[in-house]
A = this chain, B = another copy of it.
Amino acid sequence: MAQKPTLPKGTRDFSPVEMLRRNYIFDTIRRIFRSFGYAPLETPAMENLSTLLGKYGDEGDRLLFRILNSGDYAAGLSDEEVRQATKISEKGLRYDLTVPFARYVVQHRGELTLPFKRYQIQPVWRADRPQKGRYREFYQCDVDVVGSRSLLCEAELMDIVARVFRALGIRILLKVNNRKILYGIAETIGHADKMTDITVAIDKLEKIGLDRVKEELRERGLGDEAIARLQPILELSGSNAEKLDRLADILAGSETGQRGIDEMRTLFGYAARMGVELDVELDLSLARGLNYYTGAIFEVKALDYAIGSICGGGRYDDLTGIFGLPDTPGVGISFGADRIYDVMTGLGLFPAGLDSSIEVLFVNLGTEEESASLRLLGQLRDAGIAAEIYPEAVRMKKQFEYADRRAVPLVAIVGSDELARGVVTLRRMQTGEQYEVPFDELTAHIAG
């Protein structure tokens, strides 16, 4: 026997049981996206490297999977040139769904109806070092609206977050912040120029604690006075409204900061009027790395399972600017399907019965009985009931083992006795209970 074939590192097959569970997550997310009027979009796995390069920083460029040019890629190139990736590859695999979406919006700007609400559920690829929970191929579930500055869009995304995780049974905390408030804080402590340094440092507050954040701020060039002014802001407590009231005083001198506070008040007001059921915390240390965010930012933490953020996003004012189309504001969030899968597995949240792909298995007792079973099978399938017959009349033990291994809830038996009386014997596999149902009542019995 030859050596077993393998998969490239960091990639996975999804077995039937994994697929049924993953589809449960995707179907739930998709159903809720749709109920908010978002429409599906898909983009190709490959993009031109000119679309991808420079959009994710130097590290991102390094992590792109590049496609080797087709045909004789080295033809006409010097030895030097063949050693340059840009000469022998012009295409790469998509790294996220945001840049392809921005590319799509720019390419179709003439035809799109704004505001344009789209969702996109597709895999992305990154040549990251594989480790537990980090793969080189993984799915993102993005939902974005471009072409509106209304904060109602943010409120709807909060409602989507609330509904998705309620439907999945995951208790969460939604952390929100606003990039304008972060700018206002930097401005107020006299370091508007150091907003990125400040946000990068305070983003680590939860992970490394206040003392080490202060240390890092010092290393990044903040003086003791600035740090002393920052500390009480980070230590603000109370309700979201109380925090915003205190902030309004503290950031009195920052016009941008005030706009951020107004935005958050408007957003919380919308969420309340929409009846969004969600634990929301204004977390001033939440920064999110991506530089394109300009307003509200979001991050979702699972309450009962230790794992990184399972969903996040925010408002951007100029995402399409990278492709030469300015002034197209938008806001979006992305659900991390792999982490959500881990949370649900860890907490045992998948519904019972999800792992079976058959509702009824007919045992096969030979030609004559088989014919009756086939007719009944057709009726069940007409009614959308997943049903099959064991394809050969092998011994019963083997057929029942098959039923067990496929977690079939119901086995149907049509033997010569049943055939003579026009009934099916049904056996509930979990309890062992057996009973008879007339042929012409079978579909209704199982569908009911």
Contact = CB atoms under 8 A, between A and B. Distances in A.
A163 B150 CA distance: 47
Interface string A88-117: 111101000000000110111000010101
B48 A8 contact: yes
A12 interface: yes
A13 interface: yes
B41 A13 contact: yes
Interface string A66-89: 111011011000010011010011
A402 B113 contact: yes
A66 B65 contact: no
B37 A386 contact: yes
A148 B392 CA distance: 8
B104 A13 contact: yes
A7 B47 contact: yes
A27 to B, nearest CB: 11
A74 B70 contact: no
A425 to B, nearest CB: 20
B44 A8 contact: yes
A44 B360 CA distance: 31
A175 interface: no
Interface string A340-375: 000000000000000001100100000000110011
Nearest to A150: B391
A42 B19 contact: yes
Contacts of A389: 152
Interface string A43-68: 11111101100000000001001111
Contacts of A149: 392
A388 B33 CA distance: 11
B45 A137 contact: yes
Interface in A255-284: 270, 273-275
Contacts of A62: 71
A238 interface: no
A213 interface: no
Nearest to A360: B37
A38 B357 contact: yes
Interface string A1-41: 11111111001111110011001000000011011111111
A123 interface: yes
A183 to B, nearest CB: 24
A324 interface: yes
Contacts of A406: 113
A216 interface: no
Interface stretch (A186-194, A218-226, A377-385, A432-440): A377-385
Contact of A148 (B15, B93, B123, B391): B391
A387 interface: yes
Contacts of A20: 39-40
Given A35-B387, A37-B387, A73 B85 contact: yes
Given A73-B85, A150-B392, 4 more contacts: A5-B103, A11-B46, A37-B358, A148-B392
6 A-B pairs with least C-beta separation: A2-B324, A37-B388, A16-B39, A11-B44, A150-B391, A19-B40
24 contacts: A2-B323, A4-B106, A4-B324, A5-B103, A6-B107, A7-B48, A11-B44, A13-B43, A14-B41, A37-B361, A37-B386, A39-B357, A62-B71, A67-B67, A79-B82, A88-B88, A113-B406, A115-B402, A152-B370, A163-B381, A270-B374, A273-B370, A273-B371, A274-B377
